[in-house]
Amino acid sequence: MIDPSKPDLEESVNVTEAHERVVRGAAAASRESKLKENGAEPVSLWVLMLCAVPLLAAGWTLGKAGSLFSYKDITREGYVRVIPDDGEADQLPPVDYLTASIKKGAKVYSKCVGCHGPDGKGDGASYPSLAGSEWVNGEHERLAMVILNGLTGPTSTGKTFGVMPSQAAGLNGEDLSHLMNFVRHSFGNSAADVVTKEMGVAALDISSKRAKAGAPVTGEELNADHKKNLPGDPIDPKMMVDPITLEPAEAK
């Protein structure tokens, strides 16, 4: 069947006239306005001009503001912050030694949280509790040796957990003393004394001179060789000190 919309070149159709009709149709289509996609239309020049007006007005206003934004006019000439002659401008009020040491020890304890937990109770299966432990609340040389060397075998309760690795890496005498004070006065523990920096340094020396230096300690060794307090002069836990340096606060 022949499509009537298409010319049959074999019949008596004027080919030239057919081509002219095609050309005229294409010309008419080219004159039609093209529809653009939403959001692709160019911004009108009038819109840009309208936006420029308030910007120009704002610039003119700021330029005529005079001393509105002038540093010299809003700041008193020669004004400086007065610093006390005794250098106490940034000095924090003193606190007692034990409070300051516990606060520093809490930061050191952050690397122990993964095993003993934030409440110091461990998990009862792989990690022991520090709350109420005889080795925590008793003579502090035992606790120092456990921290510095790790522990293998039964704990003070007689229960055996996994081998505790040494925590001595990056731990100096001062940090050790603060960590011990934090543990011995947290989680319900209430030791009768405090560990000083001097005692922490002594603990490092004692640990290095063990017969099995570098190996985890056992309960037998702790009770036989380290059931005593670390050497060093005791300190009053209520002595007022600088909270940053822990140096004794000067009497006013």
Q: Tens digit of pLDDT for each residue in 57-103?
A: 887 777 766 666 666 666 666 666 565 565 555 678 999 999 999 99
Residues whose CB falls within 8 Å of the CB of residue 224, separated by 6 or more in sequence, listed in order: none
- pLDDT interval class at 31 (50, 70, 90): low
Of 137, 129, 163, the residue nearest 149 (C-alpha): 163
Q: Which amino acid is at 55?
A: L
Q: Is the pLDDT of residue 218 over 90?
A: yes
A 10 A CB-CB count for 97 gives: 22
Q: Tens digit of pLDDT for each residue in 120-146?
A: 999 988 899 999 999 999 999 999 999
Give this prediction's pTM.
0.65
Q: What distance in Å separates the CA atoms of residue 155 and residue 228, rounded to the nearest whole number? A: 17
Surface-to-core class of residue 101, CB atoms within 10 Å of its CB (0-12 exposed, 13-18 middle, 19+ buried): buried
CATH 1.10.760.10 assigned to domain 98-241? The reply is yes
User: Could you tell me the residue ranges of all domains in the chain?
Assistant: 98-241
Q: What radius of gyration, in Å, describes the C-alpha atoms of the chain?
A: 42
